[in-house]
């Protein structure tokens, strides 16, 4: 699996390109428009760079940078010009695209939204980041679950965003819904490099799935993002890696969802997604299918509570300059 980065494409192969996009600074509508045009330009570069490419993936914060600016003037909407431009870029270049927007939310803070768009310009996957990187990020926690879509060559594709990937439950949920390829887009900076690497590999192996992961790249004068595109097979082996941190480089590989399907059906030892719900099937017919995990049952009851809960020191965003929130999840902002 790789085919010289996708140059030699097999009949069942899906070629993915991960764009280590230069970290932008965007504070005005004009700058947002210019950055959208830059992303569109790089969709074209991806197509010219690799005629076999099926899917091009851009990192989180591709349009907005890392300022955490929530000014409504520069937030996107699904029917706005930025999303329209991304759709047209996929049509013009006959390619699937994965993109990131900060989406206006009239009921509260914006959503950190990921999109997968097909070559006909149709949104096939719409995802709201479930786990904002608190206390740094102000985004509204996602309320739409973890969707999976059918992509090139019939591959089942899931999408999670940055900090989401630090929770093993996120990648397991994507696998449980059938994802054979899981994309993880990020804005992570250099201090997260090692955690980024080993969680990407763990997410792949523990779920017998391909993961395709990419961060923003370069500096905006304040933050230094690391690029670190990684495409990893279902055994946890890195098959393509953007180690140099070169901005706007597109890291490519051919992946084989059909081999993932084969492993999930045929493996005995380490068939982790199956065995998780069929514990000890050698000893008992069908394996144990209970839920012995207290944190899961407590969370389902709305009673999740850590033994050290009362000692946790950071429980809101005031340390990063955000006001104390005054509403519960899924409540609207009070009218003034």
Catalytic residue positions, numbered: 60, 129, 162
Nearest CA-CA partner of 104 in 73, 67, 137, 127: 73
Q: Which tokens go with 186? A: 């990020």
Rounded to an integer, what distance in angstroms lies between the CA atom of residue 137 and that of residue 319?
11
Give the pair of three-digit tokens for residue 96: 């699937």
Q: Which residue has the tokens 């006959």?
A: 94
Other CB atoms within 10 A of residue 265 CB: 9
Going by C-alpha positions, the residue among 58, 57, 54, 56 that lies closest to residue 15 is 54
Cis amide prior to 135 (ω within 30 degrees): yes
Pairing of strands 210-215, 217-219: unpaired
CB 1 within 8 A of CB 212: no
CB atoms within 10 A of CB 329: 9
How far is 37 from 31, CA to CA, in rounded Å?
A: 10
First to last CA, the chain: 57
Question: Taking a C-beta distance cutoff of 8 angstroms, is the pair 330, 143 a contact?
Answer: yes
> At a CB cut-off of 8 Å and minimum separation 6, what does 293 contact?
none
Residue 224: beta bridge partners? Answer: 219
Let me know: does 188 contact 61? Beta carbons within 8 Å: no
């Amino acid at each position: 699996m790789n085919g010289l980065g996708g140059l030699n494409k097999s009949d069942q192969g899906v070629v993915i390109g991960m764009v280590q996009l230069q970290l932008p600074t965007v504070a005005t509508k004009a700058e947002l428009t210019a950055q959208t045009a830059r992303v569109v330009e790089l969709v074209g570069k991806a197509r010219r760079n690799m005629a076999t490419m099926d899917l091009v993936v851009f990192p989180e914060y591709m349009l907005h940078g890392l300022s955490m600016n929530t000014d409504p003037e520069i937030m996107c909407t699904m029917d706005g010009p930025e999303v329209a431009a991304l759709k047209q870029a996929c049509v013009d270049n006959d390619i699937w695209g994965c993109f990131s927007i900060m989406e206006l939310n009239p009921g509260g803070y914006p959503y950190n939204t990921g999109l997968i768009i097909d070559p006909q310009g149709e949104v096939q996957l719409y995802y709201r980041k479930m786990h904002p990187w608190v206390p740094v990020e102000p985004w509204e926690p996602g309320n739409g679950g973890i969707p999976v879509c059918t992509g090139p060559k019939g591959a089942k594709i899931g999408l999670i965003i940055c900090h989401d990937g630090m929770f093993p439950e996120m990648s397991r949920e994507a696998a449980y819904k059938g994802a054979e390829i899981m994309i993880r887009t990020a804005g992570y900076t250099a201090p997260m490099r090692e955690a980024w690497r080993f969680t990407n590999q763990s997410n792949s192996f523990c779920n017998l799935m391909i993961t395709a992961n990419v961060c923003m790249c370069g500096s905006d004068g304040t933050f230094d993002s690391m690029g670190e595109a990684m495409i990893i097979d279902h055994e946890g082996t890195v098959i393509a890696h953007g180690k140099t941190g070169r901005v706007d480089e597109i890291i490519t590989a051919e992946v084989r969802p059909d081999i993932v399907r084969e492993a999930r059906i045929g493996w005995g030892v380490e068939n982790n997604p199956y065995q998780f719900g069929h514990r000890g099937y050698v000893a008992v017919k069908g394996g144990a299918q209970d839920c012995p995990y207290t944190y899961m049952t407590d969370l389902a009851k709305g009673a999740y509570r850590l033994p050290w809960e009362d000692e946790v020191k950071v429980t809101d965003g005031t340390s990063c300059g955000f006001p104390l929130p005054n509403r519960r999840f899924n409540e609207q902002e009070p009218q003034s």
